[in-house]
Amino acid sequence: MTPPPELEPALSTFELEDGLAEELAESQLFPDPEPGLLSSSRLRAMTGPGLDSSGHPASSNMGAGLIDRPVSWVALAGFMGTGKSRIGWELSRALALHFVDTDKLITRVVGKSIPEVFAHEGESYFRACEGEVVRRVTRLDYAVVSLGGGTFIQEENRRVLLERGPVVVLWATPETILARTRNSDRPLLHTPDPLARIEALMNEREGAYRQGTIHVNSDGRPSEEVVDEIIERLWNYYEFGGERASD
């Protein structure tokens, strides 16, 4: 489906050549990273064994650390309630990258909440908006991108995202997801039995999610622990030439 005609003029303000990087830097949705938040352990995990604890090269033949940014772009996918926005935000701070939440970007551009888009324009309209936003954010550098729960399910979105860089898929049990989303206004959970709906949707989407690059369980774990694992596995991913990481 082509992007809705109402969406294209609004999204034109986010074209890279028209100042998307500046828009992202100035927006409250995408605040400037704070490199000072990097712990020495995360700095080593991000830049590899080529740096000492102060961030200086330990040898002349290893990476140059933050300047070269070994991890310069990564997307987070997974079912709703797996922690993509929270983990993505903390990951962006740890890696000193911008944070982009595609659902929030869509609501900002179209001027409606996700439930309002579903109610007034329908899911197909939302998915078309989603696809257009994916094409834009994959043109960014220095970003952690948090995807909507259904974004990675669309074949074209998967292709574009995986061609751009690693996609980390977060996982949690249906019970955990229900507990995390119980008080939210999720259009897909407007049903008498939301747990059964979650289980059905997760089974339906599992095959697509399994095509992600790296898989991390967020169930019952503090966000910092999840972020540390993601950083370690991203470093391993790049260290071994960008080959898909094992689960």
Residue by residue, DSSP assigns 41-92 as HHHHHHH-TTB-TTS-BSSTTS--GGGT-S--EEEEEESTTSSHHHHHHHHH
Q: Does residue 85 have a known ligand-binding role?
A: yes
Q: Does residue 101 have a known ligand-binding role?
A: no
Q: Does residue 82 have a known ligand-binding role?
A: yes
Residue by residue, DSSP assigns 178-231 as HHHHTTS--GGG-SS-HHHHHHHHHHHHHHHHTTSSEEEE-TT--HHHHHHHHH
Q: Does residue 81 have a known ligand-binding role?
A: yes
Q: Does residue 83 have a known ligand-binding role?
A: yes
3-state SS assignment for residue 144: strand
How far apart are the C-alpha atoms of 112 and 245, rounded to whole Å?
Answer: 37
Q: Are β-strands 98-101 and 143-146 bridged in parallel, bridged antiparallel, or unpaired? A: parallel
Q: Does residue 102 have a known ligand-binding role?
A: no
Q: Does residue 186 have a known ligand-binding role?
A: yes
| Residue with tokens 């990476």, as numbered in its chain | 63
- From the list 205, 211, 213, the residue with the least C-alpha distance to 242 is 213
3-state SS assignment for residue 14: helix
How far apart are the C-alpha atoms of 45 and 101, rounded to whole Å?
Answer: 24
Q: Does residue 193 have a known ligand-binding role?
A: no
Q: Does residue 50 have a known ligand-binding role?
A: no
Q: Would you say how long the chain is, in residues?
A: 247
116 contacts: CB under 8 Å, gap ≥ 6: none
> Rounded to an integer, what is the distance from CA 81 to the centroid of its chain?
13
Q: Does residue 228 have a known ligand-binding role?
A: no
Please answer whether residues 95 and 228 qualify as being in contact, where contact means their C-beta atoms are separated by less than 8 angstroms: no
Annotated binding site for substrate: 103, 127, 149, 205
Annotated binding site for Mg(2+): 85
Annotated binding site for ATP: 81-86, 186, 221
Annotated binding site: 81-86, 103, 127, 149, 186, 205, 221
